[in-house]
Every structure is written in C-alpha cells, then in structure tokens.
Amino acid sequence: MQAVAFSQNFGQQVHQLKATRAEEGTTGPLGKDVSAMAHARNAERQAEKNATERTNATDQVELNITDSANTDAAVTTIVTHNINEFLQSANETSSSVTLRPATADESLSDLIRTGFSSLLASYQEQNPEQSAEESLNNFTKLMHDGVEKGFSEAHEALANGNTLDEESINRLSASKDQIRNLISELASAVSTSGL
C-alpha cells in the first residue's frame, strides 16, 4: 500500500491513493488499501481521544483532591498519568505504551501487577534495537521515574488541597515504596524467567 498523508477529508485521501496507484501503474481493487487507511485513521483518532481523556482525567483529579474521600483514587490517577508520560516520552514511534486507567475498585498495585507484562512486551516491540535485558532495565527505570514524579505531584496536590497530614504523608511514602518494590519484583521475576 502506498503511504498517503492524512488530510481532513478521507475522500481526498482515497482520491490521492487512486491517483498515486495510477501514476505507478498499479491495478486491482482498492478495498484493502482503503480499509488499511481507514483503520490507521481510526487508530490515530482513538489515540488522540485517549490522550485527551487522560489529560482531562488528571486535571479533574487535581481539582477534586481537596476531598479526602477520593485521595487514593486521585493518587492512583496521578501516578498512572506520570508513568504513562515517562513511557510515552521514551517512545519515538507513533504508537504508545500506556498503563490503562484504574477501575473504581482497583488499586495502583493491582493495575501495575496486571499490566506489567503487556506494557513490557509493548515497550520491547517498540524498541527492537535494545536487547531484552537492556529493554527490561530501561522500562523498569521509566516505571520507577513515573512513580517518583507521580507521588511527588500527589504530595503537592494534597498539600495544595489542605488534605495533607502526617497520616497522609506516611501512607504516601509507604505506598510509593510498595509500588517501587512491586515494580522491582516484577522486573526480577521477568529477568529470572529468562527474559
């Protein structure tokens, strides 16, 4: 399939594809090429929508973190957002490696535990120039960096919302240590299982 630059009008893209194929002397049905273009366009739109939703969700959490009842959910969302930012910053490809948002009854530990293997596999696919050991180490560092920044931002958000007390500080510190240890344990398990 000939690559065609995305424009606002999908019909123009199809017309461009037909013209390009005619110039190249390519004959045959366009169905598969048009279908591939449509799937690529839909994937691009979905990625943009997901990025916007993640940004909006994080902004909303920062606004609502003054309510101590939603502190755990807010921390989970902020840390997840920061993990995703670090993973996306390492990607030079158009697709991205992201940790999905937590459900209402899911902890950050559960989210990382269930998503670690698939995130690592996606990271490795998008970084084929790295050895298995190198990609595991780089991925683990990105996860740790995201956790550090996420908990730092959560701490600031709690302080700004006047919901930061000694108990909250202790819980944040313990949670951060627990998540960092979990990431290290999962990475170690992958490493010992033969990368």
Tens of pLDDT along 18-67? Answer: 777 778 887 777 566 656 666 666 666 666 665 555 444 444 444 344 44
Neighbours of 30 (CB within 10 A): 14
Tens-digit pLDDT profile for residues 123-138 = 888 888 999 999 999 9
pTM: 0.61
Highest mean pLDDT, choosing among 8-17, 107-116, 163-172? 107-116
Q: Is the pLDDT of residue 143 over 80?
A: yes
Share of the chain above pLDDT 70, in %: 66
Q: Which fold has domain 67-195?
A: Topoisomerase I; Chain A, domain 4 (1.10.132)
Distance CA 82, CA 23 (A): 47
Instruction: Find the largest Cα–Cα distance for the chain.
Output: 73
Distance CA 138, CA 144 (A): 10
pLDDT computed for residue 27 by the predictor: 75
* Structural domain boundaries in the chain: 1-64, 67-195
Distance CA 161, CA 156 (A): 8
Neighbours of 151 (CB within 10 A): 22
Lookup: tokens for 117: 């293997």
Distance CA 116, CA 133 (A): 15
